Structure 1
């Protein structure tokens, strides 16, 4: 599997541009003081290696306070997948990796398979 790089995004403008410029855009939203966020990130990072056509980004909500209002983020971590700028998948707080993987597989094969 290829190395997967998560782009750090630190303002709303960059986040909007990231979503607009990538057919498949994935956001991992966390906070510094969130132990669940720190524990889950390596698992998500590993899983995303299986999806080379998904652009990935990490946002620290502590640095981008307006992320809460823009994406209705009330808890962390939040995992968001956008397809053509539209939110297709959202997982928050307690993420069951096997279910998340299944949902991601379905969307990915549908979108990438259609190309």
Structure 2
């Protein structure tokens, strides 16, 4: 399964996004049962995309994540290229659709290299 970087501050989030060309941020809360169900599926999905790095943010710990990324509910998953958001999946994620979106973006990024 895809390795997760635990992000515990906005500064860490900014560094994580700056360090990796493609990043997926998973924002959740410990009391969210949907969050707990989605994360293992996301980790499994991202195994097929070695260039995408996965970071996890607990919204209870990093409260400013809501304003930084305009998050109104959890779970939220954001595919970022640098500081730019390309995919936002929240609440009830359709993983087949998410895979299609990832395939398209991944193909475009790899073509540019």
Q: Tell me the TM-score range normalised by the shorter chain.
A: over 0.9
Deviations 1:60-87 (A, max 9, x none): 1111000001101100110101113211
- Number of the residue aligned with 1:59: 57
Partners of 1:24 and 1:84 within 8 A in 2 = yes
- Number of the residue aligned with 2:34: 36
Aligned length in residues: 113
- Number of the residue aligned with 2:7: 9
**Structure 2 runs not aligned, ≥5 long:** none
Q: CA RMSD in A?
A: 0.9
- Number of the residue aligned with 2:19: 21
> For residues 15 and 99 of structure 2, what CA distance do their matches in structure 1 show?
26
**Structure 1 runs not aligned, ≥5 long:** none
Runs of 4+ in 1 over 2 A off after TM superposition: none
Per the normalisation by structure 1, the TM-score is: 0.95
Deviations 1:25-51 (A, max 9, x none): 110011011000000110000000000
